[in-house]
Amino acid sequence: MHLSKALQSAYDEQYTDTMTEWREVCGKYKAANILKVCRNHRFAKALECGAGEGSILKFLDESGTFSQLAALEISDSGVARILQRKLPRLKDVRKFDGYTIPYPDKTFDMAFCSHVLEHVEHPRILLRELKRVSNFQVFEVPLDYSASVDRKTGHFLSYGHINIYTPSLFRFLLKSEGYEIVSELLTHTSREAIRYNWYRNMALRKTWWRELALGLFPLAVFTRRMLWGRKRFEEFGYSAFTCLAQGISELKIF
């Protein structure tokens, strides 16, 4: 199994200077979420699968939590930019085909995919490889689902999201592939990331009413939680789902 030529071509030149600062802003919070779900465990060797240009690796390296880091990435531009960072704890960086992980069984204490599986054509194949090469796994996915998601196909495809998840749908995917969920976290997009997206990516004018909307966000979240109820809010009210999991068995049907 290999990455399709269309996807490979799309990602080969994905990582350029124009988006580095944006990815660093997002990477800081993604790294923090990884550390939160792993806080009751100690992992010496960790592998990032789908490392992009290394923004998450940067913050994990700075945290000192892992003694050795390794990275896999499908794009030439991503690999080049990871290597340019010269991270002290990053011991190995490799380009791979998107599915076959070039390491022996149980090489790593933990492997993680942050905002990767929503881009993968055959996620179950990658999940099986991650389970093979590591003892524990961390995943983070965006929660893109809405009742009108089918009318936003072009929007999601424009930035590579070909799989749509809710927390329950992602838990089902993991559990059906023999994973046990150890800890999990639901998060909202940070105000820093929202501001950057509004004022830098989208070039919106900074106004008092936009800043007021950000300031009132906690109240809006509280109100929605009260109106929707806990279960519905946890399924549809957050921006991302992060979990520490352990692959303990294989897909079993019938």
What is the distance in angstroms between the CA of the first residue and the CA of the last residue of the chain?
Answer: 25
Residue ranges of domains in the chain: 5-188+239-247, 189-237
Query: Both tokens of residue 117?
Result: 């599986």
Which CATH number is associated with domain 5-188+239-247?
3.40.50.150
What pLDDT, on a 0 to 100 scale, did the predictor assign at position 127? 98
Longest dimension (CA), the chain: 58
DSSP H helical segments within the chain, as ranges? 5-12, 20-37, 55-63, 76-85, 123-133, 153-157, 167-176, 191-196, 208-215, 217-228, 230-236
What residues contact 225, with CB distance under 8 A and at least 6 apart?
233, 237
Per-residue pLDDT of the chain (254 residues; tens, 9 = 90+): 666 666 666 666 666 667 889 999 999 999 999 999 999 999 999 999 999 999 999 999 999 999 999 999 999 999 999 999 999 999 999 999 999 999 999 999 999 999 999 999 999 999 999 999 999 999 999 999 999 999 999 999 998 999 999 999 999 999 999 999 999 999 999 999 999 999 999 999 999 999 999 999 999 999 999 999 999 999 999 999 999 999 999 998 88
Q: How many CB atoms lie within 10 A of CB 66?
A: 23
Give me the DSSP letters along 7-61: HHHHHHT---GGGHHHHHHHHHHHHHHHHHHTTT---SEEEEES-TTSHHHHHHH
What pLDDT, on a 0 to 100 scale, did the predictor assign at position 11? 64
Q: How far apart are CA 80 and CA 54, in angstroms?
A: 10
